[in-house]
Chains A and B, each alone.
Chain A
Amino acid sequence: MFTFFGSLRAAFLRFANLFRQRNLDAQLSDELESHLQLHIEDNLRSGMTPVQARRDALFKLGGLQNTVETIRDRRAIAWLESFFRDLQFTLRQLRRKPAFVLTAVLSFALGIGANATIFAIVSSFVLRPAPVADPNSLLSLNISEQAGCCNHFSGPLFEDVRSGAQSFSGVAGYFDLVPASISGKGEPERIWGQLTTTNYFDIAQTGMILGRGFTAEEDHQPVVVIGNRIWRRRFDSDPNIAGKTVLLSGHPYTIVGVTPPAFHGLDLILDSQFWVPLGNADQIADQVLPDTRSRSSREYHWLSVIARLRPGISRPQAVAELAILAQNSAAAHSQFEKNIGFRASTAGSLPPRDRPTIILFLTAVSIVALLVLCIACANVTNLFLVHASARRQEMAVRISLGASKIRLLRQILTESMLLAIAGGLLGLIISLWATSALSSFRLPVPIPLDLSVSLDLRVLACAFALTVAVGFLFGFAPAWNASRPTVSTALKGEELVLRAGRFFSLRNILVIAQIAMSIILLCATGLFLHSLKNASVMDIGFRSRGVLAMSVDPRLHGYTPERTIQFLDQLRERVAALPGVVSAAYTDVLPLSMGNRSDGFTVEGRSAPSDSPPSVELYMVSSGYFDAMGIPRIAGRDFTNDSATSPRVAVANERFARLFFGEGSALGRRVNGGGVTYEIIGVVGNIKSRTLGEENRPLLFRALSQSVAGDPSMLGYSILAVYSGDPSSLSQAVRSQIHALDPSLAIFNSKTISEQVRDALFLPRLAGILFGLFGILGILLATLGLYGVMSYSVSRRTREIGIRLALGAPANNVRRLVVTHGMTLVLIALLIGYPVAFAAAKVASSFLYGVQPHDLFTFAFVPIFLSAVALLSCYFPARRAARVDPIVALRYE
């Protein structure tokens, strides 16, 4: 019966009417008034008395107010109009209960903020596409062998794929980590870059903000593309930079292009800042790559590969073709490429090897954050339920005055949405703060990583969805509950006098869920705090203050090994002579740098115990290192004048000695690793090598002087100055000593040992703080929830309690009644939460160092603590119950 245009027109008019409210109201009352007059006149004419006539007319018109309401609803878009009215009303209502508003908004803000922050991490590292054109068609290729996934390509294999694969419009290769010092404004600076085939930028399609990528003829030309950050910082965003010359590790290179700000290579977190054609490898990357002959052997895997899908070719088609290529390679070069396979993943996504671990970790954290949000929600729902119930009388009045139930529902939902939106906004502010804090954090690693996390549109959408879900979820149940009071009883305020209420009411279930969730959180918190405490009192094995470290890499500046050693010796003398410096020594990398070179080791003359020899971390150190670092020497001697030509010697730590030689002496024994044989000349104490929480690892310290030539450090050499006094002035002094010897040297990784330890503590601390906050928040909310429910139940049962007391029940019994009720809820929650927490702890211990799954302290303490808190939150309502005055209670209406 409606026509489409008819309804459209009606909708438009109704919308327009929204803004003509007053005038229309006047017209309506005029019309109804004239109707009444006409009717009354008619009635009078038919012989009624004036009073009768009027009454009859009014009667026939029906409830006047009702008619006006219906017409109003019809006239404008009813919900929009009444939405504004609801909004006004709600704001007025909320202003009257600031405590409730504060609790609700804060709860939501923390919950939504936590979730938005976690999701920002997920978005930045898992969901964000690479900053290239059409990221979905850009693949990153890896080799999978029998042993496992994800090796690099060898040079010839790359050529095989490049020339053989038809599915790709282009295939490019690059070497991912090349250090170089770069000239420009100020002191030279060490940065990291990549060596690429000349087609790299054509295939990646990054789009240059200045200049161009490489041309096919430039493979051996000294040309460079620089990163946006370097361009801005070292070249003042010079718009005419293209064509200018820059010194890379002392060699002149011509800048041909500048990348856009978002692009820092295609590896997710590596922060590359320059790109040079692969033909320059011998000049610029001789210390990180072997010579041309090795580079073109099938044995040496070093190239990362990206490939652009040909338009119209799907990924499965490309993978199928790669599989055929792999078979061909395996057949043709069975010696090196037996069982080889290719894997393709979207370029710039998580590295396939670490993907499962990272995803597992992020999932775990997301679950924790969601748990917090759930607790917050349950809590606010409960508070809201209590409030809503207190408003039953009001609701009943409104219903009996003719408000529709939908109308009441809508009004309560308006209230919950308003609270949720306020919480969501505050939550976004919180996560804005949290993400910027996360981005400013640096892992204590010597290579450049980009870990910046930002709020993007995806995060905003997620936060918005959460807000709406939260608002709706927590509003709906109370709204439903409150909008169906039994009018007659509720009006009288004598709601269900003696019914104690079902035990498994929504409210009780919410409290149980809340407590169960906080048990899980508390257990997790306990585990983390405990392991954090262990970490902070843990013996790291070396001096944690009073050492300044500063790195240089003379080989980047064309030093020969001999000159490097000469330079280092001179520098050491100069630094040791500085006032305030006690002694000086060298190492390649400070401990606690999250990972260092490692090799499988075997004892000479003994066959390897299994297929894979134990992995040993290698450090390069000079004489005096152990004393400078305060690492106790247990047996044997320190390095002395072990020259590059004398037999290779090394110092092992205790763990190494025990692992390879058991109770026997390690001194004088010879071990093999990485193709070199070392004689062990000393044993020192254990130190924490990668992270604070780790088990002691086997370590081998090699003589720096013997390693510079054959096996140089990729991360430069760090001078360690043991000082007494102020490190900041010392830092400047050491810097000027370095530049006095060679002003072109780039200085990097300058920090004190206490800074290094503090950085290493950051991650466990962050986790501890996060979990601690979440845990405390959880228990706070749960306690509040329990208290609210108990108070409410007491106030609901005031009359029942009054009767009990009047009939002679002792106050103790009444108290027990309330406490038993509360503690039953806690007990049920414990029974549910405890096993889950136990299982969760097992999962956590599988991927977090130093977390013991069955930490007795935590698992014994949490239930006791929780019960105590719960008891407290039951006690006050119980006391109030026992103080009920029977006379007042029974009169209470």
Chain B
Amino acid sequence: MNEKKDVLQGTLALMVLKTLQALGPLHGYGIARRIEQTSGDLLSLNYGTLYPALLKLEQEGFISSEWGFSDNNRKAKYYKLTRAGHRQLEKETREWQETSAILARFLASGEEC
């Protein structure tokens, strides 16, 4: 079965930050599509949940936004990483890697038993 996974609580913010780091300024729709594509379409993202997450990141000062125009001249709100956002991304990436390493080790040891 090719069942799509829901986005894990708390990881959406990290994905957004990473996307913005990789692609530079981007509008909400672009971010959503990119996240889906990067996951190899394994992730089911409700686009609606993206906007509260963007707002939260913006309020915390990790991203900033301004209105601009898309490739085909449509007005859209563009988000980009701030300096604090870069730091936060590094920090969260590190934390996430540690967490997943621990979890991987933990699950591996479970198999041996």
Contact = CB atoms under 8 A, between A and B. Distances in A.
A66 B49 CA distance: 9
Contact of A62 (B10, B27, B33, B48): B48
A34 B68 CA distance: 11
B interface: dominant SS: helix
Interface string B79-111: 000001000100010010000000000000000
Contacts of B46: 60-62
A41 B72 contact: yes
Contact of B55 (A2, A30, A41, A74): A74
A47 interface: no
B4 interface: no
Contacts of A61: 46-48
B59 A62 contact: no
Contacts of A63: 48
A566 interface: no
A2 B48 contact: no
A67 interface: yes
A41 B71 CA distance: 12
A33 to B, nearest CB: 9
A13 B52 contact: no
A3 B60 contact: yes
Contacts of A10: 56, 59-61
Given A67-B52, A71-B52, A75-B55, A35 B29 contact: yes
A118 B52 CA distance: 53
B28 interface: yes
Contacts of B77: 27, 30-31, 34
Contact of A3 (B29, B52, B88): B88
B28 A31 contact: yes
A703 B39 CA distance: 114
B56 A1 contact: no
B69 to A, nearest CB: 10
Interface in A445-486: none
Which of A10, A28, A31, A41: most chain B Cβ within 10 A?
A: A31
A42 B33 CA distance: 10
B60 A35 contact: no
A38 B70 contact: yes
B7 interface: no
B48 A67 contact: yes
A69 to B, nearest CB: 10
Interface residues of A, number: 33
A70 B46 CA distance: 14
Contacts of B62: 6
B23 interface: no
A interface: dominant SS: helix
A637 interface: no
**Which interface class (under 10, 10 to 19, 20 to 34, 35 or more) fits B?**
20 to 34
A75 B53 CA distance: 11
A425 B69 CA distance: 57
B47 A1 contact: no
A834 B46 CA distance: 64
B75 interface: yes
A51 to B, nearest CB: 19
Contact of A30 (B47, B72, B75): B75
B76 interface: yes
Contacts of B29: 34-35, 38-39
A498 to B, nearest CB: 42
B51 A32 contact: yes
A879 interface: no
B13 interface: yes
Interface in A39-98: 39, 41-42, 60-64, 66-67, 70-71, 74-75
A35 B70 CA distance: 11
Nearest to A45: B72
A37 interface: yes
Interface in B1-58: 10, 13, 27-30, 33, 46-49, 51-52, 55-56
Contacts of A338: none
A74 B74 contact: no
A533 interface: no
Which of A2, A7, A41, A61: most chain B Cβ within 10 A?
A: A61
Contacts of A5: 61
Given A7-B60, A10-B60, A34 B75 contact: yes
Given A9-B59, A10-B60, A61-B46, 16 more contacts: A1-B13, A9-B60, A28-B51, A30-B77, A31-B51, A35-B27, A35-B47, A38-B70, A38-B74, A39-B29, A41-B74, A60-B46, A62-B46, A66-B48, A70-B48, A74-B56
Closest 3 CB pairs of A and B: A62-B48, A10-B59, A6-B60
Interface of A: 1-3, 5-7, 9-10, 13-14, 27-28, 30-32, 34-35, 37-39, 41-42, 60-64, 66-67, 70-71, 74-75
7 contacts: A9-B61, A10-B56, A34-B77, A38-B76, A39-B47, A64-B48, A70-B52
